[in-house]
Amino acid sequence: MIPHATGRAPRLVGSIVCAVALAAGCGSAPATTPTMVPLVQVPAVATAPPVEPTPTPPATVTTAQGAVSPRLVVSLSRLRLATPTTRGVAFATSKGILLAGGLTASGTTDAVSRISLPSGPVVALGRLARPVHDAAGVTLGGSMFVFGGGVTTQDAWVQRVAGHGSGSITGRLPVRRADLSAVIVGSEAIVVGGGAGGRADPRVLATTDGRHFRVVARLPVAVRYAAVTAVAGLVFVIGGATSAGDAGTIQVVDVAAGTARVVGRLPVPTSHATALTIGGSIVVAGGRHAGRALDSVIAIDPTTYAVRLAGRLPRAASDAAGVVVGGVGYLLGGESAHPLATVVTITGL
């Protein structure tokens, strides 16, 4: 989430036209063009990676840096978004991908677009009930839900997105939360990471309907802007931003057991990355370290927690919306010095 962040967070090299600051909460933008402001508020260069207050990972966790897997193919697709967009939410559908909300050069958007696979077209489809960026999205019980996010402040709204692209308010999170993620474990959506007022919320929530939530665990290291994915009933919370800076932790939430623990570390503390599960392996693409966009694609073994460099993005980028369709990972938009219209595919693991 942008203007509300009060703790340390990465800063873009360029700037994005931010959504208008309102007297109270969210609303519509003024007729005049908003002033260009930095996306976040900290220096882009750090003399050393910040030290985060995290538990020491087990000695059995190994990290192999520099080994590039020949089985991973990262490609720039010919598909392009109609509008450069970062921090949106992507859903896999029978007709392709739906991209909802996000941040554009004009501010936070309520637009919902459909990307037909494999080659397009990309068409405007509908509108969310409320514009949001830095939200989370998941398909639960056949319905697409957008959790939280916001414009200039954090929202607690839960929005349902119909197949034709229109959004409606169907519930509320227990508290306002942005910079969060959501994944499916069994019949539940698991909401993890993020927070409000620049503070990360350690509570991991579960819901079966987008209206009723229960706390299933608490993260040992509370983070915002983490890369999150699920494998075999376990939720992996990778990196993220803490009050001390970028996190290098790999945390695992066992929903059934109600536990969360630190199991390993990234080669470089990273926030604002995108995590996907492809071929049984975890792929962490892009992100930011000390305010600078990364082009690395990291693979994590979900059984041994071993980490390796598995490829490179066509360009350094963070905050892409991620989704897997037919075994292919898609990174939609994101940002470097400004919002991107690119679509990157990841295959082969």
Residue written as token pair 């309520």 = 110
Neighbouring residues of 175: CB distance < 8 A, sequence distance ≥ 6: 156, 196, 201
- For the chain, the first-to-last Cα distance in angstroms comes to 31
- According to DSSP, residue 3 is labeled T
Bond before 10 cis per omega within 30 degrees: no
- In single-letter form, the type of residue at position 45 comes to V
Residue 114: which of 123, 105, 103, 106 has the closest Cα? Answer: 123
DSSP letters spanning 285-328? E--EETTEE--EEEEE-TTT--EEEEEE-SS--B--EEEEETTE
Element (DSSP H or E) covering residue 275: strand 274-278
**Are 52 and 8 in contact, with CB atoms under 8 Å apart?**
no
Neighbouring residues of 346: CB distance < 8 A, sequence distance ≥ 6: 72, 73, 74, 75, 276, 278, 283, 285, 297, 311, 328, 329, 330, 331
Strand order in the sheet with 167-172: 136-140, 143-147, 157-161, 167-172
b/e for 231-241, b at 16 or more Cβ within 10 A?
beebbbbbbbb
Phi/psi at 209 (5° precision): -140, 0
Predicted local distance difference test score (pLDDT) of residue 26 = 38
Residue 226: which of 347, 318, 106, 314 has the closest Cα? Answer: 318
Q: How far is CA 119 from the centre of its chain?
A: 24
Instruction: Enter the tokens of residue 233.
Output: 């009933």
Residue 9: which of 236, 287, 306 has the closest Cα? Answer: 287
**Are 145 and 157 in contact, with CB atoms under 8 Å apart?**
no
- In single-letter form, the type of residue at position 75 comes to S
| CA pair distance 260, 258, nearest whole angstrom | 7
- Where are the domains positioned within the chain? 16-44+61-74+86-347
CB atoms within 10 A of CB 49: 14
Instruction: Enter the tokens of residue 305.
Output: 């927690």
Residue 308: which of 256, 267, 258 has the closest Cα? Answer: 267
Predicted local distance difference test score (pLDDT) of residue 5 = 39
| CA pair distance 230, 249, nearest whole angstrom | 16
pTM of the model: 0.81
Tens-of-pLDDT digits for all 349 residues of the chain? 665 333 333 333 333 333 333 333 333 333 333 333 233 332 333 333 333 333 333 323 333 333 444 478 999 999 999 999 999 999 999 989 999 999 999 999 999 999 999 999 999 999 999 999 999 999 999 999 999 999 999 999 999 999 999 999 999 999 999 999 999 999 999 999 999 998 999 999 999 999 999 999 999 999 999 999 999 999 999 999 999 999 999 999 999 999 999 999 999 999 999 999 998 899 999 999 999 999 999 999 999 999 999 999 999 999 999 999 999 999 999 999 999 999 999 998 4
Instruction: Enter the tokens of residue 6.
Output: 């009060």
Predicted local distance difference test score (pLDDT) of residue 27 = 36
| CA pair distance 180, 177, nearest whole angstrom | 7
Q: Look at residue 112 and give its three-state secondary structure.
A: strand
Residue written as token pair 């595919």 = 345
CATH 3.30.70.360 for the 16-44+61-74+86-347 domain, yes or no: no
Predicted local distance difference test score (pLDDT) of residue 21 = 34
Residue written as token pair 């697709």 = 77
Predicted local distance difference test score (pLDDT) of residue 9 = 39
